[in-house]
Amino acid sequence: MRTLQIALTATAALCIAACSGTGPSGPAKLLTLDGNPPLVIAHRGASGYLPEQTLEAYTKAIELGADVIEMDLVSTKDGVLIARHDPNLAISTDVAKHPRFASRKKTIKVDGETQTGWFSNDFTLAEIKTLGGISTDAERPQEFNGKFKVVTFQEIIDFAKAKSKETGRTIAIYPETKNPTYFRDLGLPMEDKVVAAITAAGWNSKTAPIYVQSFEPGSLKYMKAKGLNTKLIQLIDGDGIDMKTGAMTYAVPVDRPYEWTKAGDTRNFDVMVTPAGLAEIKTYADGIGPWKRYIVTIKGSIGADGKPLDVNKDGKINDADATSVSPTTLIADAHKAGLFVHPFTFRNESRRLAADYNKDGKNEYAIYYKLGVDGVFTDFTDTAIAARTEYLKSMGR
């Protein structure tokens, strides 16, 4: 009893020094849900630099300081979970250059969107292992195309554990069930395999270094019902921004979870960011992963013809022709509901930065960190880390 009392007193004293934080020497209070610094989540690895979702891209992200590495899971024909953003392998691999797979090219619908390419569900893992990853963005380095292999979910779990041991840091992983309804309809459901792999890894708890995410609530709810006890994140998408009003626009396939479309539910993702939507998410998830424009949107300048102006006169209309507007209350609303907030995706390219960020991605992170986001999905871990260091310093940490 006495020992306990002393321990409590010591904790209280520490907290007076470190937790109140308003004194001249104490650090200021952070607005994150748990009061800790925001996480830097390497979206698809260091995808700004290397072909995404490869061990090489994850290694680089960890070298640049990422707290968490993020991956999308799709299924192979033989039911193995692999890290790819899309079932369509043409987008992120060199499959088009492999003549022996030419006959497997086809045009199908994925979540209501017509796509032509080669699909993971038509390839065994052994076949996919003969492919190389490629950059998914023509503006980014292309010289590594075809050099790095596609990896399985299990390989990533093993890799993260090895890297944690090697670096002495906890490297968390952030897998997403991608197109879960699409794969279930093909007889290749992913959820039981995700739960089994996490359980076998010894990570089936809220405190384990893992976050499980999906755009489809049904996928998260199913895994929770099957005993998944990790942190769960509901992703919230949108298509674009109306440059005149700053309002979110919605279009297939990012208008709503595909399971809703299939069930005839015509609501869009925006219902998830209302207080009622957040309360519903809290019944099955621990956090939200909204498109960042739900927190700070942008507006363009509109010409006499009603169309957005090419303000920087580079012949294109994009984010660089717009400025950011006052933030919404989403972070505070989500925190009030007990949900943490990890917005996506932060990128360095100037065409993807509102004009008021002056072509420096750090200025964008600074806004979101100050608003209290609990983490950021970034393609450029180093920029997110540099901005976080500056932010924490400004907060006396």
Which one of residues 314, 336, 394, 396 is an interface residue with Ca ion (CB under 5 A)?
A: 314
Residue 55 or 395: which CB sits closer to Ca ion? Answer: 55
* Residue 364 neighbours by CB under 8 Å, 6+ apart: 324, 346, 353, 354, 357
122 binds Ca ion (CB under 5 A): no
Min dist. Cβ of residue 336 to Ca ion (A): 26
216 binds Ca ion (CB under 5 A): no
Question: In sequence order, what are the beta bridge partners of 40?
Answer: 376
Residue 174 or 391: which CB sits closer to Ca ion? Answer: 174
Which one of residues 52, 56, 86, 176 is an interface residue with Ca ion (CB under 5 A)?
A: 176
Min dist. Cβ of residue 315 to Ca ion (A): 7
Piece of the chain touching Ca ion by CB under 5 A; list 24-32, 47-55, 287-295, 315-323 = 315-323
Stretch 54-73 residues interacting with Ca ion (CB under 5 A): 72
Which one of residues 137, 280, 310, 349 is an interface residue with Ca ion (CB under 5 A)?
A: 310
312 binds Ca ion (CB under 5 A): yes
The mark string for 71-100 relative to Ca ion (x by CB under 5 A, - otherwise) is -x----------------------------
Piece of the chain touching Ca ion by CB under 5 A; list 56-64, 88-96, 170-178, 276-284 = 170-178
Min dist. Cβ of residue 30 to Ca ion (A): 26
319 binds Ca ion (CB under 5 A): no
Q: Extract the tokens encoding 303.
A: 């010409």
Give the total of residues touching Ca ion (CB under 5 A): 7
Piece of the chain touching Ca ion by CB under 5 A; list 73-81, 143-151, 155-163, 316-324 = 316-324
Min dist. Cβ of residue 322 to Ca ion (A): 9
Pairing of strands 113-117, 172-177: unpaired
Piece of the chain touching Ca ion by CB under 5 A; list 89-97, 144-152, 289-297, 308-316 = 308-316
Which residues in this chain contact Ca ion in the complex, by CB under 5 A? 72, 176, 310, 312, 314, 316, 321
